[in-house]
Structure formats: C-alpha cells, structure tokens
C-alpha cells in the first residue's frame, strides 16, 4: 500500500520512522512518500500562500502549487484525501475500508487552508480527525497513516487486531501482565484460572461495562446476546440504585 503525502512540512513526519510503522516501511509492507508542496512553487521566493479574496484573517495555500504537487504523484487508482476539519470524522469502519486501497494521496492544509478550486478538482474525500482545529493537516495525516497501516497486509498479525476497541463494536476490556501483585492490586482471579469460557465472559462483561460508561451510543449498533442484555440491565439497575435522580 502506498501513501503519497502532499505537505509544506515533510520534516514533521519523522515519528512515522519509529516502531511498527517504521518497521512496516523498512519491510516494504507500506510505502510513505513525502512531497514538499513548496518545491512546486514557481515564485522566486518559493511563496506558496496568499491573502484571501473577499477579506479575512490569515493566508491561504495557492491552488496551482498544490495542483502541480498532486500531478507529480497522481495515478488512475489513487484516492485523494484532504485532511480537513470540515470533513467526515475518521472512524474504525473508514480506517478498515481505506486499508483496502492500493494508493492514497493525502493532502495536508496549513494556515487558513487551501483554495477551494483545487480541492474541488482533485479531492475525492475530506476527512477530519475530530471536532477541533489544528494548525495543519500533518498530524491528521499521520493519524490516518498509522491507523490505516495497521490493517494493511502483513503489518500486524490478525490476532492483534481481532479483539481491539471498535473491531466488534465495543471498547476493549482491560488487560494485565506480570507481576501478579502490583501496589497491593491483584490481577482479577478469573484471568489466572485457565478457564477459557469464564475468561471470555469476564472480558465481554468488562467491554460492555466500559462501552456503557464511556461510549453508550456504540451499544445501539452492537448485536447483544441475552447474557449481554442481562448484564447491562443489572449495571443500569445498580447505577439507578446508587444515584439520587434529579427531575
Ligand atoms: C487552521 S486549519 C484551517 C481551518 C479552516 N480555516 C476551517 O475553519 O475549517 C489548517 C489545516 O489544518 C488541517 N486540519 C485542522 N484541523 C483538522 C482536523 N480536525 N482534521 C483534519 N485536518 C485538520 C487542515 O488540513 C487545514 O487545512
């Protein structure tokens, strides 16, 4: 899988040289090519931005430099994504579907953003990483590359991905490693029992509880078993018994 990143700040992508993504690049499971948009400026001072028509604070990246940078990597198969707070929010389903693409071109804005005409001309999809505004699209592009690459062929083994948060619609259960006793806190007994069915139920219940407490809206989309429903009903009952309801 190939990522071409159009950016004014290629040096910001150093973190992707580390750890799992760095290894995946070295092993040629993924390829990350950084394209400096500034290299395509025809201006003698390498200017890439200008003031905004109609007024307004800040500067906008010019369409022609972005277009020329794009043309240097364009391909028939490529899907072009503009990282933007105006896009649809990135979620696990989107990550997994993007991992099936062969070639992604990621466009990073900066300053006030990018002239709309080049966005209309080349971009297939706008993706946001959350409802807040960052100074540039570089960190969002790294978030996208990191999350998508984990699902690219040969980057992780399938077992590591299987039970993770969101993969079955729920948040992942808490996990523990050695030592068995830490600061007077013991690893839950059931995890030491070797009883696979009980361990599975314990983990499922913890996932349900965490999702119910932190992201209850996710539960609406999950297929729940009779046991799941009973467990959640009991949780809700305990909560209601424990709190004094106002209004
Ligand atoms: C300061 S922002 C521009 C914000 C724009 N003027 C607006 O109000 O929507 C500069 C660049 O950062 C990137 N960016 C900022 N927040 C983002 C987010 N939540 N998700 C993805 N990209 C973001 C985009 O590439 C954007 O062009």
Which ligand 1 atom sits closest to the C-alpha of 132? 19
Among 124, 118, 79, CA closest to 98: 79
Report the relative pairing of strands 79-89 and 181-182 from DSSP bridges: unpaired
**pLDDT for the residue numbered 210:** 97
Ligand 1 binding pocket includes 86 (Cβ within 6 Å) = yes
19: left (phi over 0), alpha (psi -120 to 50) or beta: left
Nearest CA to ligand 1 atom 18: 85
Ligand 1 binding pocket includes 134 (Cβ within 6 Å) = yes
Q: What are phi and psi of 244, to 5 degrees?
A: -90, 120
Assigned token pair, 85? 């707070």
Beta strands in 57-168 (DSSP E): 59-61, 79-89, 103-108, 125-128
**Sign of the CA dihedral with 171 first, then 176, 182, and 188 last:** positive
- List per-residue pLDDT tens for the chain, 247 residues long: 999 999 999 999 999 999 999 999 999 999 999 999 999 999 999 999 999 999 999 999 999 999 999 999 999 999 999 999 999 999 999 999 999 999 999 999 999 999 999 999 999 999 999 999 999 999 999 999 999 999 999 999 877 787 788 888 999 999 999 999 999 999 999 999 999 999 999 999 999 999 999 999 999 999 999 999 999 999 999 988 765 555 4
- R_g over Cα of the chain: 23
Contacts of 101 (CB under 8 A, 6+ apart): 1, 77, 79
Q: How far apart are CA 22 and CA 11, in angstroms?
A: 15
Which ligand 1 atom sits closest to the C-alpha of 82? 25
Report the half-sphere exposure of 175 (CA within 13 A, side-chain side): 6
Q: What's the predicted TM-score (pTM) here?
A: 0.94
**pLDDT for the residue numbered 247:** 47
Among 102, 184, 141, CA closest to 21: 141
Report the relative pairing of strands 2-7 and 31-36 from DSSP bridges: parallel
**Sign of the CA dihedral with 127 first, then 132, 134, and 139 last:** negative
**pLDDT for the residue numbered 172:** 95
CA of 98 to the centre of ligand 1 (A): 21
**pLDDT for the residue numbered 145:** 98
């Amino acid at each position: 899988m190939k990522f071409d990143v159009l950016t004014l700040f290629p040096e910001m992508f150093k973190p992707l040289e580390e750890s799992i993504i760095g290894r995946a690049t070295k092993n040629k499971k993924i390829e990350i090519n950084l394209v400096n948009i500034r290299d395509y400026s025809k201006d003698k001072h390498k200017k890439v931005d200008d003031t905004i028509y109609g007024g307004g604070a800040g500067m906008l990246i010019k369409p022609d430099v972005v277009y020329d940078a794009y043309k240097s990597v364009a391909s028939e198969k490529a899907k072009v994504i503009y990282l933007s707070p105006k896009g649809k929010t990135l979620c696990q389903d989107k990550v997994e579907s993007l991992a099936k693409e062969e070639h992604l071109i990621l466009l990073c804005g900066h300053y006030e953003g990018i002239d709309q005409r080049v966005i209309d001309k080349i971009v297939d999809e706008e993706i946001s990483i959350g409802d807040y505004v960052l100074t540039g699209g570089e960190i969002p592009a790294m978030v996208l590359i990191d999350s998508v690459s984990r699902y690219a062929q040969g980057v992780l083994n399938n077992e590591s991905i299987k039970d993770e948060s969101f993969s079955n619609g729920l948040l992942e259960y808490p996990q523990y490693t050695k030592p068995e006793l830490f600061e007077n806190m013991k690893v839950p007994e059931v995890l030491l029992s070797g009883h696979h069915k009980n361990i599975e139920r314990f983990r499922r219940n913890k996932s349900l509880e965490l999702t119910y407490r932190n992201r209850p809206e996710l539960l609406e989309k999950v297929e729940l078993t009779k046991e799941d429903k009973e467990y959640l009903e009991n949780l809700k009952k305990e909560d209601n018994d424990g709190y004094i309801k106002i209004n």
